[in-house]
Structure formats: structure tokens, C-alpha cells
Amino acid sequence: METKPRTLVVYYCRNLRLFKNGEQKGFARSLPGLKLVAIPCSGKVEAHHLLKTLAGGADGVLVLACGEKACQYLEGSMRSRKRMDYARSWLRQIGIEQERLEFIHCPPMNREALEKTLKEFMSRLESFGTIPASAQVKTS
Amino acid sequence: MIVAELKQISEIRKMIDRYSSILVVGCDSCVAECASGGNRETMLLAAALRLSYKNDNKYPIITVACLDRQCVDDFIDRIAHQVPEHEVVLSLGCGAGVQALARVYTDKPIIPALDTLFIGETEMRGVWQENCLGCGQCKLGYFGAVCPVTRCSKKLMNGPCGGSKNGRCEVHPDIPCGWDMIIRRLDALGELDRLSEYVPPVDWSTSHSGGPRRVVREDQKP
């Protein structure tokens, strides 16, 4: 019997240029449970997107944003970080680990740093378990 | 506009836990402007509720709708087809919106998701300031459009109390002194002479002290 891998949804800003055309599919397959969602700017991610993603079955959500001063839309990256803090405050209210939501200013075009971040986050999610804790899904 | 705040999810859950289908209804007017009950916040609360119930291994039906205004019947009618399909309506409208829904949908429990706070303005993004109490006898013309009833903590009508320091109220240093604002503004307008006129105390019978208020205009009636 094998435990199903944790589901991690990553919203990443397209302007980080982490993947060339079509590469992200292959990259997502390399880490079981990983789902990559490209967005025009991290500022497009609202607090309700983050909570909805968790409610929809994800065990964790990661937002990869450009540096605050590097945001093409000036405020997008900064606003995204604030929304992440707001969404975390909701998780605290609900009684779910706020660390299931993570926001990172990612260096552009740096796949190695991305892989390291994802592995660390995945192992953290393993320690948290599923939502709810009693719903440990197992596959044989 | 009406300024409100979302209630804690534990308080909302306490009121709706007995139902198995919930219609979450936002209001895209005042409470959208103060980021507490608009379309975004409605989706946020619905997602938070789904997550909260999921955490407790419960899965009620949660549907989202958002009205342009919850306090006008023409808009309220737009959820008429959804209301019968749900056991309860969770309203993100102000107190007026919640009561308007209750008046229209008489057989349905309507639960408020917001704490309605005050009539105010958006001072800057993320900051809302109370500046009208709805006292029923506006005297802003005398005071350079700064309301002493709301902006002065002591509601003084004929000059400052003497307790303010550096333009801040003695009640709390975060509160700007209303009378400091009044005098500075009238001085800038060159109309300080307006303050030489005696303003009688507020007649609170026209405010909420006189019971629920109602405006009736025959020319507007159908």
C-alpha cells in the first residue's frame, strides 16, 4: 500500500520565465502531486483563490512572484504578498496550518532554486497531512 | 457609504451549522467598497466556509450569488429562483440589506455575515473613516464640511473642549481632533466668522433616539 502524494498547487508569474514553451508539463510530471498554474502576474491571485484551491483538494498552495521592485505591474507582487497574509489569517481562524500557504519572491529563470523550494515545501506538507486529518487517501 | 466588517467564521458557523444548504449572497454596493461584502468577499467567505466544513468532515451545499444592491427589491428579486433551493441565506449585506432580504423572503432564515459599523468614506485604500452619524439635521455648512457630531469625540457644537494636543484628541492620540480640523479648514477658506454664530445643541429626537426613522415621498411612490 502506497500513500498518495500530497497535492501542491503552484501559481507562478509568467514573467519569471521559469519554463520555455511546453516545458512546464514535463516539469510537473517530475514531482508527483505538483500542479503548475501560470498567471500573468502574482497580483492576480486573490485570497479567495488560495482558500478555494485548498477547499478544492490541494494540501498546499505556493505563489511564486517576482521581486517587489521587479514587478512588471509595479504593485502586483507586493499586493500578492499582502493577500497571502490575509488568506493565512483565515486559515488561523479556521484552525488549519497557515504554513500550507507559501509566498516566495522567486529569482527569475532559476529552475534549481525552484526545485529546491518545491521539495522543501512538499516535505513540509507531508508532515501536515491532509485536510481533514481523518481523510488520509491511500492507493494500493 | 455603509462600512462593515466580516464576522469571525466561528460566529457565522455557530449560526448556520444547523443547515445543510447555504446560499451566500453578497452586495456589490457600499460593502464592496469597504472590501467586506462585495463579489470578492462573497467568494472568499464561501471558500473559507467550504474549507472550514471540510476540516470538520462536513460537506453542506454552498452556493454563491451577488446582488448589485441588497436593499432594493428590484435587485433582491434576482435571487428568487435560488432562495427556495437552499435552507438558509447568509447575507453579506449591511443591516439594511439583511432586513430587506428577510422582508422579501419571509419563509427563509436570513443570517448576517457582517457587522455593520458606520456611515463613512474611503480615506485611502484600506482605511475607512466614520464621518456621518445620520443625526437628521446636517449642519456641515457651519463647520467647513467637517462634522462635529462624528469627528469630535465629545460631539461639541460650539468649539473645542481644550483637551486636544497637537491636533489630536485626548480620548485617543490616533483620533484627530474634530475641532482642530474644523478651525483649520474654515481658516483656509477665510470663513472663520461662521464660528461666531451660536449653534444650539443637537436635537437627538431626529436621530435614532426618536425610534426607527422613515422617509416617505409621495412624488416617488408608484
Query: How confident is the prediction along chain B (222 residues), in pLDDT tens digits per residue?
Result: 999 999 999 999 999 999 999 999 999 999 999 999 999 999 999 999 999 999 999 999 999 999 999 999 999 999 999 999 999 999 999 999 999 999 999 999 999 999 999 999 999 999 999 999 999 999 999 999 999 999 999 999 999 999 999 999 999 999 999 999 999 999 999 999 999 989 988 888 888 888 888 888 888 888
Cβ–Cβ gap B44/A48 under 8 Å: yes
Task: Express each pLDDT in A36-55 by its tens digit.
Answer: 999 999 999 999 999 999 99
**Is residue B92 located within the same domain as residue B46?**
yes
Of B55, B83, B118, the residue at which a domain comes to its end is B118
From the CA of B58, how many Å to the nearest CA of chain A?
Answer: 10
CB contact at 8 A, B25 and B93: yes
Residue A136 placed within a domain: no
Q: What is the DSSP string of B89-145?
A: EEE-S-HHHHHHHHHHSTTS-EEE-EEEEEEEEEEETTEEEEEE---SS--GGGTTT
Could you tell me if residue B156 is left (phi over 0), alpha (psi between -120 and 50 degrees) or otherwise beta?
beta
Cβ–Cβ gap A54/B43 under 8 Å: no
Which positions 39-58 of B are in contact with A (Cβ < 8 Å)? 40-41, 43-44, 46-48, 50-52, 54-57
Give the number of residues written for chain A: 140
Among residues A139, A119, A128, the alpha carbon closest in space to that of A91 is found at A128
**Is residue B100 located within the same domain as residue B20?**
yes
The predicted pLDDT at position B149 comes to 94
Contact of A137 with chain B, judged by CB distance below 8 Å, is answered with no
Residue B128 placed within a domain: no
Contact of A54 with chain B, judged by CB distance below 8 Å, is answered with yes
**Is residue B105 located within the same domain as residue B168?**
no
**Is residue B176 located within the same domain as residue B102?**
no
Residue A31 placed within a domain: no
CB contact at 8 A, A59 and A100: yes
Q: What CATH code is carried by the domain that includes residue A55?
A: 3.40.1360
Among residues B92, B48, B96, B95, the alpha carbon closest in space to that of B67 is found at B92
Q: What is the DSSP string of B32-84?
A: HHTTSSSHHHHHHHHHHHHHHHHHTT---EEEEEEES-SSSHHHHGGGTTTGG
Contact residues on chain B for A95, CB-CB shorter than 8 A: 52, 55
Contact of A26 with chain B, judged by CB distance below 8 Å, is answered with no
DSSP B176: B
Residue B100 placed within a domain: yes
Of B62, B92, B118, the residue at which a domain comes to its end is B118
From the CA of B119, how many Å to the nearest CA of chain A?
Answer: 25
The predicted pLDDT at position A5 comes to 81
Give the number of residues written for chain B: 222
Residue A35 placed within a domain: no
Query: CA–CA distance from B24 to each of B66, B72, B81, B100 (Å)?
Result: 8, 18, 14, 15
Contact of B189 with chain A, judged by CB distance below 8 Å, is answered with no
Cis peptide before A132 (omega within 30 of 0): yes
**Is residue B88 located within the same domain as residue B171?**
no
**Is residue B89 located within the same domain as residue B24?**
yes
The predicted pLDDT at position A104 comes to 93
Domain that holds residue A118: 2-16+42-127
**Is residue B34 located within the same domain as residue B100?**
yes
Q: Please state the pTM of the whole predicted model.
A: 0.91
Residue A140 placed within a domain: no
Residue B217 placed within a domain: no
Number of C-alpha atoms within 13 angstroms, CB side, residue B25?
A: 31
Residue A132 placed within a domain: no
By C-alpha distance, the chain B residue nearest A129 is: B55
**Is residue B78 located within the same domain as residue B50?**
yes
**Is residue B12 located within the same domain as residue B114?**
yes
Q: Which of A47, A52, A94 lies nearest to residue B55, judging by beta carbons?
A: A94
Cβ–Cβ gap A52/B43 under 8 Å: yes
Q: What CATH code is carried by the domain that includes residue B103?
A: 3.40.50.2300
**Is residue B113 located within the same domain as residue B195?**
no
DSSP B202: P
Cβ–Cβ gap B51/A47 under 8 Å: no
Residue B48 placed within a domain: yes
Cβ–Cβ gap B40/A96 under 8 Å: no
Cβ–Cβ gap B50/A96 under 8 Å: no
Sign of CA dihedral A125, A126, A128, A130: positive
Please state the domain count of chain B. 2
Please state the domain count of chain A. 1
End-to-end CA distance of chain A: 4
Residue A48 placed within a domain: yes
- CA–CA distance, B222 with B206 (Å, rounded to integer): 27
- CA–CA distance, B22 with B64 (Å, rounded to integer): 9
The predicted pLDDT at position A2 comes to 57
Give pLDDT < 70 ranges for chain A. Answer: 1-3, 133-140
Domain that holds residue B159: 133-209
Residue A27 placed within a domain: no
Cα B127 to the center of its chain, rounded Å: 14
Characterize A68-84 residue by residue with b for buried, 16 or more Cβ atoms within 10 angstroms of its Cβ, and e for exposed.
Answer: eeebeeeebbbbbbebb
Contact of A48 with chain B, judged by CB distance below 8 Å, is answered with yes
Residue A72 placed within a domain: yes
**Is residue B145 located within the same domain as residue B178?**
yes
Write the CB contacts of B121 (distance below 8 Å, at least 6 apart in sequence). B1, B128, B129, B131
The predicted pLDDT at position A136 comes to 46
Q: What ipTM does the predicted assembly reach?
A: 0.89
**Is residue B148 located within the same domain as residue B187?**
yes
Query: CA–CA distance from B74 to each of A10, A122, B29, B33, B110 (Å)?
Result: 42, 50, 14, 21, 18
The predicted pLDDT at position A134 comes to 59
Cβ–Cβ gap A46/B40 under 8 Å: yes
CB contact at 8 A, A44 and A83: no
